[in-house]
Homo-oligomer: A and B are copies of this chain.
Amino acid sequence: MKIVFVGAGRLATNLGRALMEAGHDIVQVYSRTQESAGAMAQIVGASPATSIAAVRKDADVYILALKDSVLADIIPQLCKGSEAVFLHTSGSVPMEVFQGMALHYGVLYPLQTFSKERAVDFADVPFFLEASGERAMRVAEELAQSVSNNVSRLSSADRKQIHLAAVFACNFTNHCYSMAADILGKHGLPFSHLLPLIDETAQKVHTMSPREAQTGPAVRYDENIIRAHGEMLRDNPFVKDIYDRMSMNIHRTSQGNL
């Protein structure tokens, strides 16, 4: 199976590396810039391409790992008249983006956060698949199962919900780490002090629900502490605002309100 990657960002680079290590043949990597196409092409042992016209027509699968806003532009240029399988990797774009453009298409969505500097171990990464028909599903399954033990099928509608949940569980969580790091940094205290706490907070929700695991002054709405924290954050109204709303919502939901 000859694979072309369209897109060479963080997700593409990590997924491409994992597929290559699983023995797949990645023949080409497209990206708008030579720097980006070349960097990933080198990692996965492929040739780079920097225009859609230069993308090979003879591959079996095209994996479109692009920004959502770019997908709809690229698809007509890439898919028209092709017999190949086209898969995108986005959490929030419905499969129907391919409709009328490609014959065999689907979605291969790995639920993980990717950075170029860090190689992700894919074994436990959940892959959510969707396909226009059997042939595309077979290809998506073969690819996903070659790198992960956690592969399932999911509709576009549910995938959108998972993507939204992931924004909270990953992006907003990381921003909480970031605000914590800023507070410590301002007082010359190392962020590493927080790592055992961050790890235990993540570990706890493996064995209890997040609601049961909730601790801290907001649960019982301890006004003395919350007022003192507000005072400590007075030079950063954006962060104080987030503090207040998070505390209120923790308290509200601790009372059993959804």
Contact = CB atoms under 8 A, between A and B. Distances in A.
Contact of A112 (B67, B187, B196): B196
Given A161-B184, A211-B178, A201 B238 contact: no
Contacts of A238: 245, 248-249, 252
Given A170-B201, A224-B68, A182 B258 contact: yes
A229 interface: yes
A97 to B, nearest CB: 12
A39 interface: no
Main secondary structure of the interface of A (DSSP, over half): helix
A236 B112 CA distance: 26
B210 A175 contact: yes
Given A195-B206, A206-B195, A171 B215 contact: yes
A170 B216 contact: yes
B173 A176 contact: yes
Most B-side CB within 10 Å, residue of A68, A113, A195, A243: A113
A2 B205 CA distance: 36
Given A150-B196, A180-B166, A10 B124 contact: no
A229 to B, nearest CB: 5
Chain A: interface residue count, which band? 35 or more
Contacts of A112: 196-197, 200
A175 B176 CA distance: 10
Interface in A89-143: 92, 111-115, 117-118, 120, 124-126
Interface of A: 10, 67-69, 92, 111-115, 117-118, 120, 124-126, 150, 158, 160-162, 164-184, 186-187, 189, 191, 193-202, 204-218, 222, 224-225, 228-229, 232-233, 236, 238-239, 241-243, 245-246, 248-250, 252-253, 258
